[in-house]
Structure 1
Amino acid sequence: MMQTHTLYERITNEVHARPFQKVQAPLYMVHLAIMLPADQMGKAVDSALDMAARLGIDARTSDSGFFFISSDEMGLRFERHNEFYSLTLYHFGAETEDVLAERWLPLISGDLLPGEMMVGAESLFRSLRDDPLAWCRKYFGKRDFAAEQFGDRQLAASDVMSGGATLWTDFAVREESGLVRVLVEDRALQPFQAGRLLQRICEIETYRHMALLALPVAQRAMPLITDLDKQLSDITHRMTGDHQEQPSEVLQELMTLAARVEELSADTANRFSASDAYFALLDTRLNELRQERIEGLQTITQFMERRLEPARRTCQAAGKRIEHLSKRIARVSELIRSQVDLSIEKQNRDLLEALNGRARRQLRLQAKLESFTIIVVTYYAFDLIERTVRNTVPGDSLRNDVLMGLSFSVPLIAGVLWLYVRQLLKGYDEED
């Protein structure tokens, strides 16, 4: 019988894990992204539920990773991420931001929420009216809405969702609240479209901040990368100069340099990788806005590209420089190791040649001593035969004749012994 995979339900429900909220104008919303280590996320869940209870929202939930709870007046959306969590507060039917100072700001700015706030944005969402310029002047302090400058900051605006809404913001933090203000006017949005738009605005703010966490890291790393690059260049020049150093000494110095580069890579790789991922998400969310330009104003994408692209390039350049520096060190190390291997092979060859020379000298000495060996052996052989003849041959006359013949046979004995010794040394001579 076919069985259901243990992960079937979890995988199937993943596409429904973080749904958009169904909202309508008017609405006031505050979105926060708060940095917190992953092992302390339980505190964030408890704090979010505590905040909901203080706001009169039913705080019962079974999901600690994402939940949206609401009452007739307010709503709270909690979402957990790897290094931060996001909290979004909704005030349904609100025309102004009065609820922020009256009820939300004391909870947000107090000790209720654990962690460090990285992102703070407020959105005023209202239905289409005949006074969009006056609305913008009210919240951005702008007298001449047709001009790009207001104060010392620029305004970004565009028609979004294929003309279904209009969005204005300057991405500037308000002194009174510490939040970035976004104005959204509903022209023809369905409730789920409105929820998607507002969520995308929150995510754009979140991802642009999280992506830029890598910028200070890159700025600190750049001078160190330049210094390490110069050290590697010096080592390379010393290898090819007129007074070359011993490869073993250069290799030891290069290994120290490689360790410093790997330490720098370990300290920055995760941040740079996360930055690339956040920038990719930011690009996706900007594209999903489906913007149309308003004459005289920058679109949200144009505003982001002009100000974020240098930071993105800096982070990418730092990561690539570290990677390229590591590869260059590996190539130089391989070159030095090749020199060391060649030096070792030369030493081994010289040692083998010396051993072969000693063996040849030993064989030549043995050949020189061969004649003395034959003489000695011939003497002992003659002496043994003579003693045997004297003790075994009867009669003086016969014994004398035998000894006389033995004396004349000494060259024959020496010749036989010489042939025998040559036969024994034949194999060694051939190896030589």
Structure 2
Amino acid sequence: MEPADEHPLRYSLVNELHARPSPRLVAPCTAVFLAFKQPGHAANRDRSEDTAHLADLCHRHGAPAPDTSAGHYAAQLGRYELRWESHTEFVTYAAFASGLPQRPFDPAAAEVFPEDWQRAAPGKRLTAVMIQVDTLPEAPEQILPKLNQWFARDSLATVWVLDESAIVAGDFRIDPAGFMRFAIFVRPEIGAGRVGRIVQRLLELETYRAMSMLGLGRARELTAELNALDPKLNAIVQGMASDGQSAETTLQELLQVASKLEAAAADHSFRFGATAAYQAIVEDRVRVLRESRFMGRQMLTEFMARRYHPAMRTAKSAEERLQAMLDRTERAGELLRTRVDVERSAQNQEVMRRMDRRADLQLRLQHTVEGLSVFAISYYAVGLLSYGLYPFAEELHIEKAVLIAALTPLVILAVWFSIRRIKARIHDDDASGGTH
């Protein structure tokens, strides 16, 4: 096929599947891992700062500079094999070296990442892990004295992984040097690829565990906000049943609460969504290790169930509570709008009744004015006619008073009839105009 017939993203999407292969490691070896995340709006960060920080590290060790648009990078930094990856919210640095330090988990093993270089990172260090990989002795119980020396017993998890091909141990605590420690003991016949996958899965487990735990901090902040808004919302809903406060005032108070809840949802929705995604990755990494119990010790799944999952449930509970309060606010708004509509309908009906009364009064007043106008017009008409007919009345020997008395009822009837005709004509004209 011609290149024009290929989807423009086909090759880049396929290459993404092979962009981050697991390292190939041979025991004994040491892995040092760091993850940096900017405190706020990390997903929209300036990624050129990340590559610039990586370039500085490469320059210190005399390694080639990375591509400024790259999302991953690998190079040899002295005796360390470096792997760098850029993720949605964070960047990771992993350095692998053969052999073990003379002192277990010696901070000097992390010399590939200088302290001043770490302090100059564009983000803050979120994860720091040191993993020591050693060969499993023929009697696995021989590792117990080392584990008791290296880790805190109350939180130590020790398990067989990948069909008892290796033992993984860690207490998920931060040592005085700032690193979280893991020890891996692999059988001598295990290949470099499987060892690398175990290390990679442990690093990813700890990284995404730390990222998902950020949701717990947000959940605590949100819970404090909801604790302050919940009584206000309850008071508004309860006050809706009484007539002590106008609906407009109640609506304004409800809008204030609703706006704060919507702002909280906008601020926390991304973090809660990311927390759920990271939690799914953590659980997947634990599952693919295919752990089994080692000499009655605590398993990773048990540690997660006791220490990790409650934090995730707290974050989920805060998210659900926020959504429930948003739903309550929406329902309260609908009820309040219904109440306002009913009150306005009653007001409109009262206005219509008042208008009807005013129209009735105007009609009565109009009839009164019409009656007065008949007499007024008749008065002047009688006067004019009497002046015109008075000469004839003298010839007929009719007195003026008798003439006026005779004209008055005739003129009143004539005026009344004329006004009625005029009103009927106007009414007919209005009716015909409305029809057209």
Q: TM-score range by the shorter chain?
A: 0.7 to 0.9
2:73 matched residue in structure 1: 67
After TM superposition, give the deviation of residue 86 of structure 1 in Å. 0.7
CA RMSD, 1 decimal: 3.7
2:18 matched residue in structure 1: 16
1:7 matched residue in structure 2: 9
CA contact (8 A) 2:80 2:112 kept: no
Q: Distance in 2 between matches of 1:151 and 1:409?
A: 128
2:96 matched residue in structure 1: 90
Q: Distance in 2 between matches of 1:335 and 1:97?
A: 72
CA shift in 2, pair 1:428/1:357, >3 Å? farther
SS at match of 1:111: helix
1:204-243 pair list within 5 angstroms: 204-241=205-242
1:145 matched residue in structure 2: none
Q: Distance in 2 between matches of 1:362 and 1:233?
A: 50
Paired residue total: 419
2:344 matched residue in structure 1: 344
1:298 matched residue in structure 2: 298
CA deviations on 1:382-418 (whole Å, 9 max, x unpaired) are: 5566667789x9x985999xxx999856545533432
CA deviations on 1:337-393 (whole Å, 9 max, x unpaired) are: 3222222222222122112211111111221232222233334445566667789x9
CA deviations on 1:271-316 (whole Å, 9 max, x unpaired) are: 2222222112211222222222324022212211211111111111
CA deviations on 1:234-292 (whole Å, 9 max, x unpaired) are: 23233335x63222222222223333333433443332222222112211222222222
1:41-60 pair list within 5 angstroms: 41-55=47-61, 57-59=63-65
In structure 2, runs of 5+ residues without a counterpart are 432-436
Q: Distance in 1 between matches of 2:187 and 2:386?
A: 136
CA shift in 2, pair 1:128/1:94, >3 Å? same
Q: Distance in 1 between matches of 2:33 and 2:185?
A: 15
2:203 matched residue in structure 1: 202
Q: Under a length normalisation based on structure 2, what TM-score does the superposition of the two structures give?
A: 0.82
CA contact (8 A) 1:125 1:186 kept: no
1:134 matched residue in structure 2: 142
After TM superposition, give the deviation of residue 135 of structure 1 in Å. 3.5
Read off the aligned partner of 1:116 and give its amino acid letter.
Answer: K
After TM superposition, give the deviation of residue 213 of structure 1 in Å. 1.4
CA contact (8 A) 2:172 2:180 kept: no
Read off the aligned partner of 2:201 and give its amino acid letter.
Answer: R
CA shift in 2, pair 1:322/1:77, >3 Å? same
2:181 matched residue in structure 1: 180
CA shift in 2, pair 1:341/1:366, >3 Å? same
SS at match of 2:45: helix
SS at match of 2:240: helix
SS at match of 1:240: coil
Q: Distance in 1 between matches of 2:147 and 2:52?
A: 34
After TM superposition, give the deviation of residue 88 of structure 1 in Å. 0.3
CA contact (8 A) 2:51 2:68 kept: no
1:147 matched residue in structure 2: none
SS at match of 1:153: helix
Q: Distance in 2 between matches of 1:379 and 1:86?
A: 109
Q: Distance in 1 between matches of 2:132 and 2:78?
A: 18
Work out which of the residue numbers 110, 117, 120 in structure 1 matches 2:116.
Answer: 110
Q: Distance in 2 between matches of 1:82 and 1:97?
A: 37
Read off the aligned partner of 1:309 and give its amino acid letter.
Answer: H
Read off the aligned partner of 2:137 and give its amino acid letter.
Answer: R
After TM superposition, give the deviation of residue 336 of structure 1 in Å. 2.3
**Greater Cα offset, 378-387 or 108-117:** 378-387
Read off the aligned partner of 1:171 and give its amino acid letter.
Answer: F
Read off the aligned partner of 2:45 and give its amino acid letter.
Answer: D
CA deviations on 1:34-68 (whole Å, 9 max, x unpaired) are: 12345354333233344345446555556531122
Work out which of the residue numbers 403, 411, 421 in structure 1 matches 2:419.
Answer: 421
Work out which of the residue numbers 26, 29, 33 in structure 1 matches 2:28.
Answer: 26
Read off the aligned partner of 1:264 and give its amino acid letter.
Answer: A
Read off the aligned partner of 2:132 and give its amino acid letter.
Answer: L
Q: Distance in 1 between matches of 2:348 and 2:68?
A: 73
**Greater Cα offset, 158-167 or 379-388:** 379-388
Read off the aligned partner of 1:30 and give its amino acid letter.
Answer: V
Q: Distance in 2 between matches of 1:48 and 1:153?
A: 38
1:146 matched residue in structure 2: none
Q: Under a length normalisation based on structure 1, what TM-score does the superposition of the two structures give?
A: 0.82
SS at match of 2:362: helix
SS at match of 1:28: strand
CA shift in 2, pair 1:60/1:311, >3 Å? closer
CA contact (8 A) 2:31 2:94 kept: yes
After TM superposition, give the deviation of residue 151 of structure 1 in Å. 4.7
Read off the aligned partner of 2:138 and give its amino acid letter.
Answer: D
After TM superposition, give the deviation of residue 29 of structure 1 in Å. 0.8
Q: Distance in 1 between matches of 2:141 and 2:101?
A: 16
SS at match of 1:67: strand
% same residue: 27
**Greater Cα offset, 73-82 or 33-42:** 33-42
CA contact (8 A) 1:97 1:124 kept: no
Q: Distance in 2 between matches of 1:34 and 1:136?
A: 33
Q: Distance in 2 between matches of 1:139 and 1:56?
A: 37
